[in-house]
Amino acid sequence: MAPNTPIDNDDASSSSSEPDIDNGLLQDELSGDTLAALMKFMNTGSCFDESDVDDNERIKGDERLTKEKTSEESTNNCVIADTLQRLRGDADESTLAHEEKVMANKVLLVLECTTPKEASSLLKRDGVIKINGVLEHNLCDISLKKINQSLLDSDFQSENEKGGEVSSFVGFGKVWSREKRYDMYLPNEGPYKQALACMLCKGSALSDLFLTVFEGKSAFFHELSALISDSGSASQPIHPDTDYTTTAPLYTCFVALQDIDESMGPTLFLPRTHSREVHDRHNEAKTKDTLLADSEYRLGILKKGDVAIMDSRTLHSGGANISMTPERRRVLLYFTLRNPLYSGEYPPNGSLIPGLSISTAEF
């Protein structure tokens, strides 16, 4: 694995991961010149070549030519960026349609609850588990209210729905299938800090689980955020958050702040897909369909205060929210821990407020 594989939790991404674009799609859609410009843009962020400006013109400081070149660069880059975004969307939709066809006859089971005593062994075996009642209901209610208000107070929601360029907005991360989906960074204060203290205090189910998994070592947070899925949001392609490594780099806890039923797009997990063999098959076009057809599927249907804990190598996807009313918004408070037993380089760009440092030792 390349050690810097981006993470994209559930609606994930919480980082900069983007769907791959098929070369055949590019060649069918674009002329040779446009394709060359697009590839340059993807590699450098610009399709403008400064070598096109004559040295004498640069030395003389010809303002007219400079302005013309700058204007041309800006226009071309905007066109190329729009094209790239459309093609990525086409690739995303094509992948979804194909996966839905492969999975058409699959029975979707429910992710079953495990006892704290069995949690560590089942997490190691299956790559995902569910534990009931890890967060008090009053803290769920307070956190949910604050998240909804914070989203309302920001201009991110309206810009996201318009397709605006908001990926640089401080406090929000990128997600798969981002329309009507939001990944909002949370501060370690107020109800969120209280919630973490409730879930990770000494003797709690999560504290005992991670003490076992991490062999008594404390862990730093890689992410602390809220995953929000509104009515009308589409499902996501099936993906892992990190490529295969011998040791899991990360573990993510998805905490339900309200009851989540099947219509609200619960996360779909594929247990026992965190192995090298499965990743090899998933990454190979010839074997991917058979893998998906043969895999077991578990829906993360959670009650308020329940948590799903996932090994970052496990295949999963965020489901489509097909509920018909605004109050059916799905909100998950989630946090990701860096496995202190992992010796590689952690993925970059987790959904964490820049400069924020949190450790399980604080709780």
Choose between 132 and 172: higher pLDDT. Answer: 132
Q: pLDDT exceeding 90 applies to what percent of the chain?
A: 57
Asked whether 12 and 183 are in contact (CB, 8 A), the reply is: yes
53 falls in which pLDDT band (50, 70, 90)? very low
| 201 secondary structure, DSSP code | S
Give the integer Cα–Cα distance in Å for 54 and 60.
10
Q: How far is CA 228 from CA 178, 252, 305, 334, 356, in A?
A: 10, 16, 16, 11, 21
Type of residue found at 66: T
- The dihedral of CA 293, 130, 354, 321: what is its sign? positive
- pLDDT digit string, tens, across residues 174-213: 554 456 888 999 999 999 999 999 999 999 999 999 999 9
Type of residue found at 361: A
Residue-level pLDDT at 284: 95
Give the integer Cα–Cα distance in Å for 244 and 296.
19
Give the integer Cα–Cα distance in Å for 96 and 145.
32
Residue-level pLDDT at 76: 55
- pLDDT digit string, tens, across residues 258-269: 999 999 999 999
Q: Look at residues 329, 7, 346 and name the one whose alpha carbon lies nearest to residue 180.
A: 329
Residue-level pLDDT at 155: 60
- pLDDT digit string, tens, across residues 84-111: 555 555 555 666 667 667 666 778 999 9
Q: How far is CA 70 from CA 48, 65, 219, in A?
A: 9, 8, 47
Per residue in 44-77, is it b (16+ CB within 10 Å) or e — as a string? eeebbeeeeeeeeeeeeeeeeeeeebeeebeeeb
Q: Which residues fall within 8 angstroms of residue 277, CB to CB, at 6 or more apart?
A: none
Asked whether 352 and 23 are in contact (CB, 8 A), the reply is: no
Asked whether 361 and 256 are in contact (CB, 8 A), the reply is: no
